A = this chain, B = another copy of it.
Amino acid sequence: MVSIKDVARRSGVAISTVSKVLNGYPGVSEKTKKKVKEAIEELHFVPNSIAAALSSKQAGRIALLMNLNTQTKAIDEIDMQYMAGAIQKAQEMKLDLITVFFSMLKGKSVAEIIRYFQAQSIEGIIVYGMSGNDRVLWELVERGVFKMVLVDVSYHAENVSCIGINHRQAQIDVARKTILENRSKKILYIAGKKNSYPGAERLRGIEELAEELSCKLFVRYGDFSELKARNLTFQYAKSRDVIVCGSDLMAIGAMRALIEMDIFRPVCGFDGLVLMGYAGKQMNTVQQNFAGISAAAVEELQYLLQGGEGREVILPHTIVRMKYLDIIA
């Protein structure tokens, strides 16, 4: 393995000089800088990130902490997009990214978790899928030991940012479109989970909208479960004229129930899953760019690592109509 030492020898300068060139520090003449760069090229030198992490404390090692959707097997899609987006972006930004699942931290205390990450020289963490119930994680956040970016959570502090779309507005947008298209008046809203921030925001959205359009609103919790949404639809759809769902998966469940009941009701979803194309009929939904969101989260974390202050970042969303033939093309 060719090391910084070899580069130094080859270009006839000291190790520290090479290091400075590598990290873009000032205090190196253009000539020597050029010499060093040439040597790097010729020797095909690639700095060892492990050694860098050991020696300095800002070597850019971050963790992606994910709560996999184990309850419903069908939406690996979202998790996958998040992971892929973050991994890709981290690589671009030359950050070392390790992936950690909530399940691996289960039963550990905050102190243990902190040590776990410190032992890996992790300095920043992106958390996806955190709910209000995750006590230890919230404690971890509040301790402020690591720079953190929280996805789909509303909280920020000195070194903690949060990021995500405006769920309330998105719910309003997609539901308004669907309701106006169908001149609906009586809404069945199948909400997500009670303790979920996005779930609560979306619920607020539909409440505002129902108020604004003077629609009757009937709310039931589907807990983001396709099966529950299906059953709720069987139970309550007949006497309403539109079904608004807090997630695509629930929208699919609702749609399939409607098909089995052999009645028509417009349905709209939330997320933009490709799976929507398999629902049986077209639906409006909110398109979230998950890969883009996690990529943005990585950038935000980098911003924090470089001394930026925690803040709230709102990302854009779009309303789309999902068709089977589009998604398989």
A1 touches B118 (CB 8 A): yes
Stretch with Cβ within 8 A of B (4 or more), from A30-38, A109-117, A159-167, A188-196: A109-117
Interface string of A34-76 (1 = CB under 8 A from B): 0000000000101111110110000001000000100011101
Evaluate whether A48 and B119 lie within 8 angstroms (CB atoms) in the complex, with A88-B101, A274-B74 already known.
yes
Evaluate whether A328 and B226 lie within 8 angstroms (CB atoms) in the complex, with A81-B76, A87-B99, A97-B98 already known.
yes
Contacts of A98 in B (CB 8 A): 96-98
B80 touches A119 (CB 8 A): no
B46 touches A116 (CB 8 A): yes
CA distance A53 to B98 in the complex (A): 15
**Residues of A95-142 contacting chain B, CB below 8 A:** 96-101, 103-104, 111-112, 115-116, 118-121
Q: Does A79 contact B (CB under 8 A)?
A: yes
Question: Which of B1, B104, B253 is in CB contact (< 8 Å) with A91?
Answer: B104
B54 touches A51 (CB 8 A): yes
B119 touches A274 (CB 8 A): no
CA distance A100 to B88 in the complex (A): 8
Evaluate whether A328 and B103 lie within 8 angstroms (CB atoms) in the complex, with A49-B119, A274-B73 already known.
no
CA distance A49 to B79 in the complex (A): 27
Evaluate whether A50 and B47 lie within 8 angstroms (CB atoms) in the complex, with A68-B84, A275-B275 already known.
no
- Chain A interface mostly: helix
Q: Does A278 contact B (CB under 8 A)?
A: yes
Q: How large is the interface on A (under 10, 10 to 19, 20 to 34, 35 or more residues)?
A: 35 or more
13 new A-B pairs (CB below 8 Å) besides A48-B121, A50-B120?
Answer: A44-B111, A48-B54, A49-B119, A49-B120, A50-B50, A72-B328, A76-B80, A87-B100, A88-B101, A88-B104, A97-B99, A225-B328, A278-B278
- Chain B min CB distance to A220 (Å): 17
Contacts of A46 in B (CB 8 A): 115-116, 118-119
Contacts of A97 in B (CB 8 A): 98-99
Contacts of A230 in B (CB 8 A): 328
Evaluate whether A44 and B278 lie within 8 angstroms (CB atoms) in the complex, with A50-B54, A77-B76 already known.
no
A87 touches B101 (CB 8 A): yes
Contacts of A111 in B (CB 8 A): 44
Contacts of A304 in B (CB 8 A): none
CA distance A279 to B279 in the complex (A): 10
Q: Does A324 contact B (CB under 8 A)?
A: yes
